[in-house]
Structure 1
């Protein structure tokens, strides 16, 4: 599975986990059904879940005139994935993480999501 696809699937799984309180491993298995799991996908879902408090704190520290609870679920989930990548996965270049997050925002969010995500993530890496 390509990393772009893994990020997209991780976003969908984490979005569901934000609404339903399931275990990450069960959510991955249920989402993928008969599809083979991917190590990068598992790392994203389990990592974001395990480090969610720290990730939310990093995001909150870089918001202007917003609180993390006010951010729509789509953008919040994408920001969590990208922040996890930026802080916990050294092998992924920062600009790749940001570009992928902006692309997910443009696909799943509204017309301002990509710009919002880019702005927050740019502050996080500054």
Structure 2
């Protein structure tokens, strides 16, 4: 399984667990197949998001312009959480890759507005990260 596929599985699992309070194991089995080994990258993403959800959501809220956190669509919020998690906690993944992968998820699960919105938020966070790392 490549990382793009792993991100998509993580997105589907996170969406289910967030939206309907589904148990993570049940959601993983539903998406990945019952008893099928879960890719370590999926597990890592889900664990990091779970551990840092408050900080990830704070980042989203801090970069919203004329928009409230509660108005963000569930799929948009989930894609943002995945990408921001990678940007903040996965040193082995370039920020540009995380942004591009998020935009690709938007192409599949959202629309043009979703792509623009997600890209704008992630670009803003990326610039902030670059500034801090100088």
Q: TM-score, normalised by structure 2?
A: 0.88
| 4+ residue runs over 4 A deviation | none
The 3-state SS of whatever aligns with 2:92 is coil
How far did residue 26 of structure 1 move?
Answer: 4.2
Query: Unpaired runs of 5+ in structure 1?
Result: none
- The structure number with the bigger radius of gyration is 2
Is 1:104 the equivalent of 2:105?
Answer: yes
Query: Unpaired runs of 5+ in structure 2?
Result: 128-134
Residue 114 of structure 1 is matched in structure 2 by: 115
Superposed CA deviations along residues 87-126 of structure 1, whole A, max 9, x for unmatched, are 0010001000000000101110122111111100000011
Coordinate RMSD, CA, aligned? 1.3
Residue 66 of structure 2 is matched in structure 1 by: 65
Is 1:4 the equivalent of 2:7?
Answer: no
How far did residue 61 of structure 1 move?
Answer: 0.3
Distance 2:21 2:120 in 1: 30
Distance 2:125 2:102 in 1: 13
How far did residue 83 of structure 1 move?
Answer: 0.3
Q: Report the number of matched residues.
A: 126
Distance 2:58 2:25 in 1: 24
Note the 1:74-93 alignment, pairs <5 A.
74-93=75-94
Distance 2:14 2:35 in 1: 19
